Amino acid sequence: MARLFDAYIIVDWSAASKPAQGANSVWVGALARDARLKFRFQSANPPTRLKAREMIAGLAERFTARGDKVLIGFDFSLGYPAGTAEAIGLDTAGKPAWQAIHDHLASKVKEKPDNSNTRFAIAAGLNYAMTKGPLPFWGAPARDQITTLTGTKGDFSSSPVEEYRICEQWVRKTHKSKPKSVWQLYGAGSVGSQSLLGIPTVKALRIQLPNSAIWPFETGFEALGAEALDGTDIVFAEVYPSLVTARPETGEVADQAQVRALAHHYYGLDEAGKLGALFGPPEGLESTLIPKIIAEEGWILLK
């Protein structure tokens, strides 16, 4: 069985407020064919999110120009729990909920060359829109805490949305891993800030790169075959690096090792004809949940 993809780009995102490199910064890894048609991995550590966006676009354009199909995986949530768009008060009459959220965040997040950002203020404003209080987003340094954004988790029994998406509940139930909630902005392992700042980049890349689609929102939540990628050169997906063991090699930092390990992981699955099935719902998932996943929540490309 032929591979679905010819290049695999894995992105470890960062919410840093100033240019940063090394550990806990943006890492972009690409596994693709070299001049001798051998698959070779390379990684880069752009100091800002804007530089990373330019790099990802450049790689994708180079690969697709030679006829490659490209998988681009981001290590942050591409969706929010069902009901989020409605709770914010977004207009979903002419667009799906996931797109309304992507558009809204893109209008709020203004990336700058110095990597500064206002993610805590944005989250506080979204909390005000949803609950008029410190829910559902939580977690911030003392200087950024206000009445609508506190340093500790609030009582989700009074929240209009769930603490975890369906996919995060699934991973917690079926894998030996505990992904954080998209609402947690600060603290070890938190992903909320990366999602707030990362989704606008995915939206920008989706517009910039022709024949691209965001899974599962635009591709459908079903197994992919070669015919399903007719007319689609690039698939954006959410990935979760912790599901794959990554041992840093000499000179590597942990983030760099993770993008390398994950790129090779998906390549190996694709080479074995097993990757396509992972774009569909896992066995045992209730079919009644799928509409929520496609409309607003998204899913993680699990192993």
> In the chain, what are the domain boundaries?
7-77+191-297
293 bridge partner residues: none
> How confident is the model at residue 1, as a pLDDT?
59
| Percent above pLDDT 90 for the chain | 95
Average pLDDT value for residue range 214-242: 96
Name the more confident of 177 and 43.
43
> How confident is the model at residue 37, as a pLDDT?
87
> How confident is the model at residue 303, as a pLDDT?
82
Average pLDDT value for residue range 246-251: 93
Tell me the C-alpha distance between 279 and 194, whole Å.
Answer: 23
Q: What is the pLDDT of residues 116-174, one digit of tens each?
A: 999 999 999 999 999 999 999 999 999 999 999 999 999 999 999 999 999 999 999 99
Task: Indicate if the pLDDT at residue 52 is higher than 90.
Answer: yes
CA end-to-end distance (rounded Å), the chain = 19
Task: Indicate if the pLDDT at residue 56 is higher than 90.
Answer: yes
Tell me the C-alpha distance between 108 and 199, whole Å.
Answer: 11
